[in-house]
Amino acid sequence: MNIGEAADATSLPVKTIRYYEDIGLIKPVRAANGYRDYSSSDVHRLAFIQRSRSLGFSIDECRSLLSLYEDKARASSDVKALALEKIVEIDRKLKELKSLRNTLRTLADHCHGDDRPDCPIIDEIAGRSRP
């Protein structure tokens, strides 16, 4: 199938598919006319990458997951270790986001939100003061 059909089958933009090819995540064959020819295996890999990315895995982590996926002698503990590492990273990000939210909430609570020009939110962003 051509790249447009692969994009339709995976709901990935053509540009993303080309990028994945450029960085070596997929390697479609080239037809005699020079166009990419995506096999059902290529489309499956694209869907695997898309799902991995939607779970928050980086490109390098997707490479590792693809490698494990293709290794029929893999240990599931290796896959679990990657998932657990990702959970630790997500938990760290959640903590950071909660802190950011609390900071913004405090700033918003201290802002009068009226016609006056003084604003603790702007002051904080500018590094001038803290409520």
What is residue 67's predicted lDDT score, i.e. its pLDDT? 95
- For residue range 4-18, list pLDDT tens digits in order: 999 999 999 999 999
Structure tokens at 21: 């090819």
Domains of the chain: residue spans and CATH? 1-74 (1.10.1660.10), 79-131 (no CATH)
Cβ proximity of 120 and 107 under 8 Å? yes
Residue 23 has pLDDT above 70, yes or no: yes
- Highest-scoring range by mean pLDDT, 34-38, 79-83, 107-111: 79-83
Cβ burial of 96 (10 Å; 0-12, 13-18, 19+) is exposed
Residue 131 has pLDDT above 60, yes or no: no
Q: What is the mean pLDDT of residues 94-116?
A: 93
Distance of CA 50 to the CA centre of its chain: 9
> What confidence tier does 129 reach under pLDDT thresholds 50, 70, 90?
low
> What confidence tier does 41 reach under pLDDT thresholds 50, 70, 90?
very high
Residue 130 has pLDDT above 60, yes or no: no
DSSP H or E run through 114: none
pTM score, whole prediction: 0.79
Cβ proximity of 21 and 28 under 8 Å? yes
Neighbouring residues of 13: CB distance < 8 A, sequence distance ≥ 6: 7
pLDDT higher for 120 or 40?
40
Percent of the chain clearing pLDDT 70 (strictly above): 98
> What confidence tier does 128 reach under pLDDT thresholds 50, 70, 90?
confident
Q: How far apart, in whole angstroms, are the C-alpha atoms of residue 71 and residue 75? A: 9
